[in-house]
A and B are shown apart, each in its own frame.
Chain A
Amino acid sequence: MPPPPNTPDEGLTEVAYRAPEDDELFRVPSPHPSIAMAEASPNGSCVIKLDYQAIEYVDPVDETLLCPVCKTPFHSPITTPCGHTFCAACINRALETQPTCPIDRQPISRTLDYRRLPLIVKDQLDRLKVKCPNKGCDHQCPREHLEGHYERRCEFSLVRCPDSGCNQLIARRDASPAKGCLHVEVVCEYCDTKTTFAELDGHHNFECDGVLIECPDCRRDVVRHALVEHRTQECLEGQAQCKWHKAGCKVADRRRVVQEHEQSGECSFEVVGRLIEKQAEDRKIINELSERLARVETSQARRRERRMTQLLGRGSFPPMASSSRGVSTSNIPDATLNNNRSLSLDSVDDGATGGSPEDYMLAQFERLETQLELLRKQSLDMDARQSHLILQHATHFSEQLAEIGNKVGIVNMHMSWLMSLQRQQRAGSAAGSSSNAAMSQGSGGSSVRPASSDDSGLQYAGNNRRHSEGRGESLHRL
């Protein structure tokens, strides 16, 4: 059945066609149940597709995860070329009337490929906790699992009536060929409304007014079917016992009083009650453990027995094996509590009657152990080698450092020698200018210069000494 022209569906199929690898992303629940019905297979799968916009979320959802068009958390979201994200269905509807981005009005053409949303956002959406949209079902699950629950498992999902002549829908739990078609018209016994047998329950629980009955205790209206449950569990005016009555608490009054009593913490039996509860839990665990121990012991005993028989002569005592199996079942009288484990144990044992899997396991185990030992040795070796390397490098570095220290000392020495030379020159020129030009320049120059050079030579020697001291010092410091 092709959708009529100018419906959002047309746009959707177009997009899906252009991005065939994305069919998961662009698959949108059909808004028309009739179309969905036509596609539904007869094998009891739900015929009305899950409507993502009608789902109720358990916790408030962050606003950044809401589609700006439908204001519900994104469903199969896509991102436009301008970077805005919408549900695939919403953006396609919007583009039907106006080919621009609803947020910034940038032109978008549907022929363009939309960008995928980062997977992290998809994960965030998948994890949102939702409630099953079916009336009467209180199932809650992450959103990614809802479709499976709704379409295949939920007992309240509508499926086709098992009667092939009937075109109506019925809740899955009522759809069994044994029950036949339940779309028989009945009249509600409380409010005289006409309804079908299939919908009677839902009518009673959600619609019918006449079905209400006043609770004799709290005077509130309660659905007639739920009255007993209400009186024993909810009714605040009904009689109730303190929940620690097993521990000896004698309080029994109206539920309101009892609840106050329980919550105020004044019940002195609470401690004892909790202790008893804890003890019961512990007892349960102990029982389970002892059972398991017994089972392990018997299986071990059997294994030992089997090995003995194998040693004595392979397969020469077939009756032994069968008898051991008989023992095993008699040794586990209460196999119902831990059925799975005992079953798996038995199956392993049965498989091991040949003996080879066991030996194989042992051999494997030994092999792994030797490998482990080898690895341990190798890692120790590596450790030693590494520390040795580090040590070597360290000594190398310290040597280099000492050398650098030396060089710095030499440069230092040169510097001070140059400085003193300059100082002397400056002092000499000042003295020359003050003592006037009595001396001839040539003789003065020749007499002074050698002296100064001698001086500097001496100083150099001195500096050299100092420098060697400095080096010693630097070495020491190193």
Chain B
Amino acid sequence: MSVPFAAKRLGKELNKISSSLPPGIELVSADNFEEWLLDIKVLDNNPLYQNQTYRLKFRFSPSYPIEPPEVVFIQLPDRPIPIHPHIYSNGIICLDLLGQQGWSPVQNVESVCMSLQSMLTGNSKNERPPGDEEFVRANTMRPKDIQFYYHDNDV
């Protein structure tokens, strides 16, 4: 009877997502209310991301949507990690929307995907974040525990 808050909300979202999703976003799997996989594409012809599909992994805590989901890109043979000054090569995304401060319970899976789409669309720099290699080598923390410093308001 006492279904966790997150499951109820995710159930609603899943209903909506299964019936309709914005162009360029596809649900790959949502077998439980802990981890979902989605594919996103950049729709305009930005040469950096043209004809590419990226795989996103959402992990939800039981207190979603009060707490943000953990969202990372994951690498597969046909699913690279997009090159972006805010995306580390291990798939970790530095986006204030996904942090404790920038998150709002009004956001949902669909809106996060759309934000990431537009983050990619608006980018023209073919580079990784500064200190990428070192970060990737040293990082053992979960994305939500990393204290990002959101400095760049342009992208």
Contact = CB atoms under 8 A, between A and B. Distances in A.
Interface of A: 31-33, 48, 51, 53-54, 68-72, 90, 93-94, 96-98, 100, 102-103, 105
A33 B1 contact: yes
B3 interface: yes
13 contacts: A31-B2, A32-B2, A33-B2, A51-B2, A53-B8, A54-B8, A68-B106, A71-B12, A72-B12, A90-B105, A93-B63, A94-B105, A100-B104
Interface string B69-106: 00000000000000000000000000000001101111
Given A51-B1, A51-B3, A69-B106, 13 more contacts: A31-B2, A33-B2, A69-B9, A70-B8, A70-B12, A71-B12, A71-B13, A93-B5, A94-B104, A97-B66, A97-B100, A98-B100, A102-B104
B104 to A, nearest CB: 4
A69 B65 contact: yes
B26 interface: no
A51 B2 CA distance: 8
Contact of A68 (B8, B63, B101, B105): B105
Contacts, number: 55
Contact of B8 (A72, A96, A102, A103): A72
B116 to A, nearest CB: 20
Nearest to A86: B105
For the residues of A in contact with B, the DSSP-based class is: loop
Nearest to B4: A31
Nearest to B3: A54
Interface in B89-138: 100-101, 103-106, 108
Contacts of B108: 71
Contacts of B12: 70-72
Contacts of A71: 9, 12-13, 108
Tell which of B3, B12, B103, B106 has the most Cβ of chain A within 10 Å. B106
B67 interface: yes
Given A32-B2, A33-B1, A68-B106, A98 B101 contact: yes
Contacts of A72: 8, 12
Contacts of A103: 104, 106
Size bracket of the B interface: 10 to 19
A250 B67 CA distance: 67
A69 B8 CA distance: 11
Contacts of B63: 93
A98 B105 CA distance: 10
A65 to B, nearest CB: 14
Contacts of B66: 69, 93-94, 96-97
Contact of A48 (B1, B5, B65, B106): B1
Nearest to A34: B2
Nearest to B101: A98
A31 B8 CA distance: 13
A414 B1 CA distance: 97
A103 B103 CA distance: 10
Contacts of B9: 69-71
A100 B100 CA distance: 12
A72 to B, nearest CB: 7
10 pairs of A and B residues whose beta carbons are closest in the complex? A102-B104, A71-B12, A69-B105, A68-B106, A102-B106, A102-B105, A94-B105, A53-B8, A93-B66, A48-B1
Contacts of B106: 68-69, 102-103
Name, among A32, A48, A53, A71, the residue most crowded by chain B CB atoms within 10 Å (CB to CB): A71
A128 to B, nearest CB: 16
Nearest to A134: B1
A400 to B, nearest CB: 68
B76 to A, nearest CB: 31
A87 to B, nearest CB: 11
Given A93-B66, A97-B66, A70 B104 contact: no
Which of A72, A94, A96, A100 is packed against the most chain B CB atoms within 10 Å?
A: A94
Contacts of A31: 2, 5
A105 B104 contact: yes
Nearest to B67: A97
Contacts of A54: 1, 3, 8
B15 to A, nearest CB: 9
A31 B106 CA distance: 21
A100 B103 CA distance: 11
Contacts of B3: 51, 54
A72 B104 CA distance: 17
A54 B1 CA distance: 9
Contacts of B5: 31, 53, 70, 93
Contacts of A32: 2
Nearest to A31: B2
Nearest to A93: B66
Contacts of B13: 71
Contacts of B101: 98
Contacts of B103: 98
A90 B106 CA distance: 10
B129 to A, nearest CB: 26
Nearest to A36: B2
Contacts of A48: 1-2
A33 B1 CA distance: 9
B77 to A, nearest CB: 36
A71 B9 CA distance: 7
A72 B9 CA distance: 8
Contacts of B105: 68-69, 90, 93-94, 102
B20 to A, nearest CB: 13
